Structure 1
Amino acid sequence: MTDSTHHSAIDDAQGILFGAGMAAFGITILTHLGLVTGQTAGLAVLISYATGWGFGPVFFAINLPFYWLGYRRMGGRFVVKTFVAVALMSGLAMVLPRWLSFAALDPVLGAVLFGAISGAALLALFRHGASLGGVGIVALHLQDRTGFRAGWTQLAFDVCVFAAALTLRDAGTVAISALGALVVNLVIAVNHRRDRYIAA
C-alpha cells in the first residue's frame, strides 16, 4: 500500500457522501419513470411499487441482514462505511423528490442516465471501502477472493429481480429498465479492478 493510494478520513467522507448522493439521485430518476432495476436497490424498488411503502425505509431494512456477512468477510470498517452509505442514500431518496422534479424525461434517456449516475456512485463507494450493502457485499467479497468481477455477480442477481419485475410492470417498461441496469453493470465491470485502483 502506498501513500498515494491511501484515503484519509476526509477523502472517505466526501467519497461516501458523493456516492450515496448520486445513488439517491439515480433512484429518484428511476422511480419517477416507474422503472425498475437490479441488485438490492431493485428488490427494494419492487417492494415499494407492490406495497406503496417508501423506497428509503424499505432499502434500509433490506440491508440489515447483510451487515453480519459484511463484518465477517470484509471487516468492521467496511460495515460502518456501508451502513453510513446506505443510511445516507435511504434518507436522501426520501427527500430528493421534494426538492426536484422533471418536466420532461424520456424513459430511454432516463434509464441510461440512471445507469451512468448509479455506476459512478457505486464506483465512488467501492473505492472508498464501502458499498450499498446487500448483493454489493457479496459481489465485493467474491471479487476479492476469486477475482470474479463484482459487476458480473450483480448482473446474475439482476436477472432474478427482473424476472420478478415482469409480474409488476409491462414487458416494455422492464426492457427499458434492463438498459439502465446494463449500463450500471458495464460501468462497474469495466472500471472497478483491483489492479487499477487499490486504496484503504
Structure 2
Amino acid sequence: MVNQLLNIPNSARAKKIIIWRQVKDVLFIGIGVVMASIGLKGFLLPNGFFDGGAMGVSLLLEILTPIDLSFLIILVNLPFIYLGYKQLSFRFAVKSTLAIFALALLVHYIELPIITADKLLIAVFGGFFLGSGIGFAIRGGAVIDGTEVLAIQVSRRSSLTVGDFITVFNVFLFIVAAFLVGLETAMYSMLTYFSASRTVDFLINGVEEYIGVMIISDFADDIKSKVTYDLGRGVTAFKADGGFGEKAKNPDRNVLFTVVTRLEVTRVLTEIEKIDPKAFVIQYPIKDTKGGMIKKRPLH
C-alpha cells in the first residue's frame, strides 16, 4: 500500500529499468570511443593537430615526445579518474576507466586512411568526431577527457566556476602550444577545440534545449488554459503581489511559469500574443530538468 501511494516501482520493473539503462550506457560509451578514435586517427594525428583539455595535453605530448598516444591517453587521464572516484562515484570511475582503455586500444591498433589534406576540414571534422566521442561518453555516464572532473574540484575550492577553469586551462594550453609547435598549428587546434566543444554541447543539450517562460498578464487564466490544453505543456501559477501605474491598485494576480523546448518557444509566444499583446514575458535557458512532464536527458 505504501509503495503504491509513493509510486515506488516493484523489483521486476526496477530491475528492467536498471538493465536497460546499463545497455544504453554501454551503447553510448561504445559509440563515443569509436567516434573519438576516428577523429584522432583519421584527422588529428596524421596532421599534428590537437584539442583542448586532457586530450589536448595527450596529443601535445605525443607530438613532443616519442611516447605512443595510447599510453599518454591513459597516463594523463588517470589522475582525473581518481578525482572522479572521489567526487562522483566508484561506478563513474569504473566506466570512465573502461572507456579510456578502450579508446587507447583502438588508437593503438586501428589504422585509418588520411581522409583529407585540407587543414580547415581537418580541424573542423577532427573536432566534430572527437567532440562526438566525448559527448556520447558523457551521455553514457563516463568521460574520455577528464578536464571537467578537475574543473569541478577546482570550483569547489576557489571562486572559479567550472567554465572559467576550463577556459583558463585551454588558453594556457594553446599559448604553450604556440611556442612549442608553432602559431599556425596552435590556431588550427583552437578551431578543432571550438568544433569539439560545440559538438559536445549539442549532443548533451540537443535541439531540445529547455527554455523557462514566465508570463505576467491580466489574462493569466486564459493563457494558462491555452498552454495547458492546446499546447499540451504543464503550467505552474504563482500568486504574486505587484503592479505598475494603474495596475498597482489591484496587485493580486497569477504569474505563470512553463518549461518548453527551444523549438516550441515561438508557438507559445504567438499564442500569448493572441490573448494579451501587452503580456510581460521572460525567457531564460534551463540546463536540465527532472520529473514532471519534461523528458529527462541522461548524463550520469
Which residue of 54, 69, 74 maps to 2:88? 74
Where do residues 97-116 of structure 1 align in structure 2 (5 Å cutoff)? 98=111, 100-102=112-114, 104-116=116-128
Partner residue of 1:61?
75
Q: Are residue 25 (structure 1) and residue 2 (structure 2) matched?
A: no
Alpha-carbon distance in structure 2 between the residues aligned to 1:103 and 1:191: 24
How many angstroms does 1:19 deviate by?
0.6
C-alpha distance 130-172 of structure 1, shift in aligned 2 (>3 A): same
Query: Where do residues 121-140 of structure 1 align in structure 2 (5 Å cutoff)?
Result: 121-139=133-151
5+ residue gaps in structure 1? none
> Does residue 1:195 correspond to 2:208, yes or no?
no
Q: How far does residue 191 in structure 1 lie from its aligned partner after superposition? A: 4.8
* CA drift at 1:182: 0.8
Tell me how large the CA RMSD over aligned residues is.
2.8
Whichever of the two has the greater Rg, that structure is 2
C-alpha displacement at 1:117, in angstroms? 1.3
Amino acid at match of 1:17: G
Rounded to whole Å, the distance in 2 between the matches of 1:151 and 1:181 is: 14
The 3 A distance-change label for structure 1 pair 103 and 9 is: closer
How do residues 77-96 of structure 1 correspond to structure 2 at under 5 angstroms? 77-96=91-110
SS in 2 for 1:64: helix
Task: Check 1:151–1:20 CA distance in 2 against 1; reply closer, same or farther (3 A cut).
Answer: farther
For structure 1, which segment, 133-142 or 30-39, has the greater mean C-alpha deviation from structure 2 after superposition? 133-142
1:139 shift after superposition: 4.3
Q: When you count strand as a share of all residues, which structure comes out higher? A: 2
Identity value in percent: 24
- Which moved further from structure 2: 43-52 or 154-163? 154-163
Match of residue 11, structure 1, among 24, 36, 43: 24
Asked if 1:52 corresponds to 2:66, the answer is yes
| Alpha-carbon offset, residue 62 of structure 1 | 1.4
Q: Is the 8 A contact 1:82 1:132 kept in 2?
A: yes
Contact 2:116 2:122 in 1 (8 A): no
Q: Match of 1:90, SS?
A: helix
Counterparts in 2 of 1:78 and 1:154: CA distance versus 1, 3 Å:
same
TM-score (norm. length: structure 1): 0.83
8 Å CA contact 1:26–1:118 kept in 2: the answer is yes
Give 1:8 shift. Answer: 2.2
What is the TM-score normalised by the length of structure 2?
0.57
The C-alpha deviation readout for 1:29-86, integer Å capped at 9, x for no partner, is 1111111221101111111111121111011011112222111111011101100111
Quote the Cα distance in structure 2 between the aligned partners of 1:153 and 1:190: 21
SS of 1:192 mapped into structure 2 = helix
Equivalent residue, structure 1, for 2:292? none
Residue 190 of structure 2 is matched in structure 1 by 178
In the alignment, residue 171 of structure 1 is paired with which amino acid? L
**CA 1:168–1:133 in 2, change beyond 3 Å: closer, same or farther?**
same
Single out whichever of 124-133 and 182-191 deviates more from structure 2. 182-191
Match of 2:210 in 1: none
Whether the 8 Å CA contact 2:55–2:145 is kept in 1: the answer is no
**Which structure is richer in relative contact order (CA contacts within 8 A, separation 6 or more)?**
1
- Matched positions, count: 193
